[in-house]
């Protein structure tokens, strides 16, 4: 019995190892002077200007994007006034200028 089912068991384990991938966002993500075409899921860095001017973020994709700061990734410190700033979420077609944020996450 074991010998007969060994090929079937091997085929089932090969099928289970196939990774499921998601399709990239369709459209353009612009961060400052950089435009990404059909960005995949993940994070894209925000390079802030030395002169302190705001960085333009444009979501011309079909997905939500989130502007994250380092503090959004870690639990807040104990004590009053130490809550992390809320993450800024942009719907498709929205744009904003920001002086904060470390990265843009494509959902």
94 lies in which domain range? Answer: 25-106
Asked whether residue 79 is domain-assigned, the answer is: yes
Task: Please give the Cα distance from 88 to 60 (Å, whole number).
Answer: 16
Whether the Cβ atoms of residue 103 and residue 43 lie closer than 8 Å to each other: yes
pLDDT given at position 8: 56
- Whether 74 is covered by a domain: the verdict is yes
Q: Please check whether residue 80 lies inside any domain of the structure.
A: yes
Count of domains in the chain?
1
Give the whole-angstrom CA distance, residue 101 versus residue 10. 48
The mean predicted confidence, pLDDT, of the chain is 79
pLDDT tens string 48-91: 888 989 999 999 999 999 998 765 555 555 666 666 667 799 99
CA distances from 38 to 30, 33, 90 (A): 11, 16, 16
* Count, residues in the chain: 107
Residue 4 lies in a domain: no
Confidence check: pLDDT of 11 > 70: no
Residue 54 forms part of a structural domain: yes
């Amino acid at each position: 019995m074991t010998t007969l089912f060994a090929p079937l068991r091997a085929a089932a384990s090969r099928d289970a190892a196939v990774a499921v991938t998601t399709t990239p966002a369709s459209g353009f993500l612009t961060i400052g002077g950089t435009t990404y075409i059909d960005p995949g899921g993940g994070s894209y860095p925000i390079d802030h200007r030395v002169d302190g001017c705001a960085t333009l973020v444009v979501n011309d994709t079909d997905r939500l994007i989130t502007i994250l700061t380092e503090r959004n990734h870690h639990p807040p410190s104990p004590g009053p006034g130490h809550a992390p700033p809320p993450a800024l979420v942009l719907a498709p077609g929205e744009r904003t200028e920001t002086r904060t944020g470390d990265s843009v996450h494509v959902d």
